[in-house]
Structure 1
């Protein structure tokens, strides 16, 4: 029986671990927190997930919240400012629903399931000395967390990085009391050009259905006021104030919101980063990165957990296909390139939302306001960002698409 060790017990690590257990592997997963500590701690992310990623959970029998979690049925995109209101406005259902389950609910449940299926769950910190020991005693070590010195093992891949600093100050808020939409539940994306974005969608938390609000402020801009926030009440008050000031078309839905709990808030600044896949230890042994440690996106388009789930599925398939072969450096590099073949498109999609859109993209978004077919294509890109690869970033290809669309109309 081959022995696999996974450092990190989040979406990528636990999903892969459970999949490997089902295939007959001996699996150890290491977490720096117990399930109880995760459940009682601060929210970890916004984790909107879509059908392709969720299908991998369903295949493993760990999609425990399909009947409880409110669906994300579509998207609604609006752009404008406080003076003119929303000047761009389109919506569309997705081909399949998404969902968002608070990781404080999800990860403790998955940790229990990992152990129920025979996995060895270890609670503790992993330093370089411990990682050396693990690499010496395991057939393969995967690192699915970038905390502490572990993240430094994986070199920034400058050739694949678009940015070298945070593009947004990010404030996350879990709330009850949102006024429901009158058509379908949606990933709501509101853009105030040059100021920032308001993204929100339905979710499930400890206390039942809720909504997650993500305010993305351009650093140094008029919404970047978060450093002065000291308490959960301050966080909620500033959330409501910024929505009223910069997204007034949305403000009525937020009039009576309240925090799900005092830990239902998070603030930070993320530098979108791509790292090289292999960490080389002082001994010369190698470990393989996965998930956010390899491709870390701004949460604007909600691709992080989707990348983790799809990557875990890809890794599972590759490990099983390797049989008794060595998990050597060429194999690691080939697997990581296979992951990048997908993840590069989620990164490009997200990064494109962090900069002023070029004219051909503005033309496309404007056309979506009148063309339901194009709006639907854009909605489904959140499920599969690679679907944009042949036309969204190419002005000529975009022009041909718009021309064909106009001819059909």
Structure 2
């Protein structure tokens, strides 16, 4: 047996492979698709990679796309509270997040791994068969054939049904009020509408996404056949935006609004789940789960790719420093260590699906009148541990607000400084 086998070619698997390669640990990537295959197909997701993930990419020598069309530099947040006016604030995201289609990103990482001498094996291979060939097998692919090895952990998986029905596409024809900005509209009881700039195979475009509460008014977009009736689908999408985010609708060019190409949609219903982090195979060897094989979060908090990157680096360090066999004890202990960080992401993501509790609503209210609070809140998307510490309790919000007051002179109300804040 030699080295580490990594099943899956998503961000977790590829960053793990590249990091082990840097450390001199032999690794083999098992991918359903080769480099060219990763470039095709419909969009898989719409990841935003925050500052710490980009720094890890720099360490790996694969950080590219550091240009404006692939960045989000501001967030425009709107909470539709049912009051005469919604709560709104604009915040700067420092450093900017990187928004690059995984059909561009993943082939670049896999190419780097292969070019540096890494072994790539394509096709569908049973996990039990692969484990016999490696000192350790890490499973980072969340397909159904793999998930059976890692059953759901009920203590960490509060939901048993989907909490959002997602319909997200890549479009032309949407303008920005603030350059390189993201818009998110929170619609209590209905879900969320999100728009963000995105660097896609078609170049600079925009993602428009509905995260619909099942049975709510936004769900209908996910049930229309966009291929059979593109014009009807586009009309329906525009009608939903007009009804629930009219300010965003005003920035969409009706004549120019369309998917960048047929099929540029991602749709589905996601049940958040944490699975058991390791499995004993029939021959007595063990496999360790990371990425989609381990945790599925709703994309609302945009932490999936960032958690995958963090996990890859943390696991690479555990593997490199370990002396002895990569046995059941190692897998169990490694999974527990990885959970110390991951639990903050999971608990935060699950909490946001339930809607903001009063103490978080109060934070949003302060953000709408104090730019320091708005910037600090959005900045915490770079640090999910700090974010969940702030949002999880009323005392956490109080401490967060007090810290904001100490860090800088008071800023003008966000709602009246949209243009100023963008400069």
Alignment of 1:13-32 (within 5 A): 13-32=13-32
Tell me: CA distance 1:136–1:406, structure 2 relative to 1, closer, same or farther (3 Å): closer
Contact 2:222-2:267 at 8 Å conserved across structures: no
Partner of 1:225: 220
Contact 1:243-1:250 at 8 Å conserved across structures: yes
Tell me: CA distance 1:311–1:405, structure 2 relative to 1, closer, same or farther (3 Å): closer
Say whether 1:113 aligns with 2:112. Answer: yes
Distance 1:220 1:345 in 2: 29
Tell me: CA distance 1:339–1:404, structure 2 relative to 1, closer, same or farther (3 Å): closer
Contact 1:171-1:216 at 8 Å conserved across structures: yes
Partner of 2:137: 141
Secondary structure in 1 aligned to 2:271? coil
Say whether 1:207 aligns with 2:202. Answer: yes
Partner of 1:189: 184
Distance 1:15 1:334 in 2: 21
Which residue of 250, 253, 257 corresponds with 2:251? 253
Distance 2:381 2:110 in 1: 28
1:137-191, CA deviations, whole angstroms, 9 ceiling, x for partnerless residues?
A: 1011000012132111112111111211111100111112321233x42232101
Tell me: CA distance 1:235–1:106, structure 2 relative to 1, closer, same or farther (3 Å): farther
TM-score (norm: length of structure 1): 0.92
Alignment of 1:262-281 (within 5 A): 262-281=262-281
Distance 2:108 2:37 in 1: 13
**Any unmatched runs of 5+ in structure 1?**
none
Alignment of 1:329-348 (within 5 A): 329-348=328-347
Alignment of 1:4-403 (within 5 A): 4-67=4-67, 69-80=69-80, 87-127=86-126, 131-182=127-178, 184-226=179-221, 228-232=223-227, 233=230, 234-255=232-253, 256-322=256-322, 324-399=323-398, 401-402=400-401
* Paired positions, count: 403
1:271-313, CA deviations, whole angstroms, 9 ceiling, x for partnerless residues?
A: 0111110022122221000112222110111111111111111
Tell me: CA distance 1:238–1:120, structure 2 relative to 1, closer, same or farther (3 Å): farther
Tell me: CA distance 1:237–1:319, structure 2 relative to 1, closer, same or farther (3 Å): farther
1:336-360, CA deviations, whole angstroms, 9 ceiling, x for partnerless residues?
A: 2222111111222222221132111
1:331-380, CA deviations, whole angstroms, 9 ceiling, x for partnerless residues?
A: 22222222211111122222222113211111111111111121122101
**Any unmatched runs of 5+ in structure 2?**
411-423
- Superposed CA RMSD: 2.1
Tell me: CA distance 1:86–1:316, structure 2 relative to 1, closer, same or farther (3 Å): farther
Q: What is the deviation of 1:257?
A: 2.6
Q: What is the deviation of 1:246?
A: 1.2
Tell me: CA distance 1:237–1:105, structure 2 relative to 1, closer, same or farther (3 Å): farther
Secondary structure in 1 aligned to 2:390? coil
Partner of 2:413: none
Q: What is the deviation of 1:70?
A: 2.4
Distance 1:358 1:22 in 2: 44
Distance 1:235 1:308 in 2: 33
Distance 1:35 1:346 in 2: 30
Tell me: CA distance 1:236–1:159, structure 2 relative to 1, closer, same or farther (3 Å): same
After alignment, is 385-394 or 369-378 more displaced?
Answer: 385-394
Tell me: CA distance 1:235–1:335, structure 2 relative to 1, closer, same or farther (3 Å): farther
Tell me: CA distance 1:276–1:346, structure 2 relative to 1, closer, same or farther (3 Å): same
Secondary structure in 1 aligned to 2:391? coil
Distance 2:124 2:390 in 1: 45
Tell me: CA distance 1:117–1:278, structure 2 relative to 1, closer, same or farther (3 Å): same
Distance 2:221 2:190 in 1: 14
Q: What is the deviation of 1:400?
A: 5.0
